Amino acid sequence: MKRAFTLSEVLVTLGIIGVVSAMTVPTLMQNYQRKSYVTQLHKVYNEVQQAAVHYITEKNAIDLIEAGINSQAKAEEFVTSNFKIVQTCTNSLTPCFADSYKSINGTAIAGFNPHTSYVLASGAAVRPGYYFSGKGGASYQSVINLLIDINGKQGPNIQGRDFFNVGVYPNGVIDEIELNNPLSPPFSKDLREELFNRNCLSGKNGGYGCFGKILNDNWEMTY
Per domain, the residue ranges of the chain are 11-216
Residue 212: left (phi > 0), alpha (psi -120 to 50), or beta? Answer: alpha
29-43, 47-61, 98-112, 194-208: which has the minimum mean pLDDT?
194-208
Task: Return the closest-CA partner of residue 170 out of 71, 63, 68, 69.
Answer: 63
- Answer whether 123's CB lies under 8 Å from 162's CB: no
Residue 101 has pLDDT above 90, yes or no: yes
Is pLDDT above 60 for 181?
Answer: yes
Which of 40-44, 103-107, 125-129 is predicted least confidently?
A: 103-107
pLDDT at 125: 98
CA torsion, ordered 150, 103, 106, 37, to nearest 10 deg: 30
Q: What is the DSSP string of 88-131?
A: EETT--TTTS-S-EE-TTS-EE-------EEEETTS-EEEEEE-
Closest CA to 191 of 178, 208, 202: 178
At residue 186, does pLDDT exceed 50?
yes
Q: Tens of pLDDT along 26-44?
A: 666 678 899 999 999 999 9
Q: Mean of the pLDDT values across residues 77-105? A: 95
More confident residue, 4 or 40: 40
Residue 118: closest CA among 169, 82, 79, 173: 79
* pLDDT tens digits along 149-177: 999 999 999 999 999 999 999 889 999 98
Name the β-bridge partners of 136.
Answer: none
pLDDT above 60 (res 137): no
Query: Considering the chain, what is the average pLDDT of its residues?
Result: 86
Give ∠ CA 205-187-103 in degrees, rounded to 5.
25
The model's pTM: 0.83
CA–CA distance, 23 with 69 (Å, rounded to integer): 51
pLDDT beyond 70 at 51: yes
Q: What percent of the chain has pLDDT over 90?
A: 63
Higher pLDDT, 207 or 128: 128
Residue 167 belongs to what H/E stretch? strand 163-168
C-beta separation of 120 from 87 below 8 A: no
Q: Is the pLDDT of residue 197 over 60?
A: yes
pLDDT of residue 138: 46
